[in-house]
């Protein structure tokens, strides 16, 4: 089964970061607070569904879907 990522998750569900895929921006994503175990929730998305706004431990971060796809959640 495909792992669930932030890009494929539903709005309004409390999720936790399971892993961050290795990429050129993974260090940046972790520094923005998306470390393993962090609580996240998709708040809203832009028209066309991309980018999305995510609550990351108390602040709102906007990510493009291809960035969100790097974050595995459950």
Judged by the rule CB under 8 A, the positions of this chain that interact with another protein are: 23-33, 35-36, 41, 43-48, 50-51, 53, 55-64, 67
CA–CA gap between residue 2 and residue 45 (Å, rounded): 22
Least spacing, CB of residue 16 vs another protein, in Å: 13
CA–CA gap between residue 56 and residue 38 (Å, rounded): 7
Least spacing, CB of residue 68 vs another protein, in Å: 10
Query: Which residue, 1 or 47, has its beta carbon nearer to another protein?
Result: 47
- What is the three-class DSSP state of 44? strand
Query: CB atoms < 10 A from the CB of 8, how many?
Result: 13
Least spacing, CB of residue 38 vs another protein, in Å: 8
């Amino acid at each position: 089964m495909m792992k669930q990522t932030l890009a494929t998750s539903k709005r309004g569900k409390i999720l936790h970061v399971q892993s961050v895929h290795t990429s050129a921006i993974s260090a940046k994503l972790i520094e923005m607070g998306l470390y393993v175990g962090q609580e996240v929730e998709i708040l809203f998305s832009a028209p066309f569904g991309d980018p999305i706004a995510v609550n990351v431990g108390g602040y709102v971060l906007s990510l493009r879907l291809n960035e969100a796809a790097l974050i595995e959640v459950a």
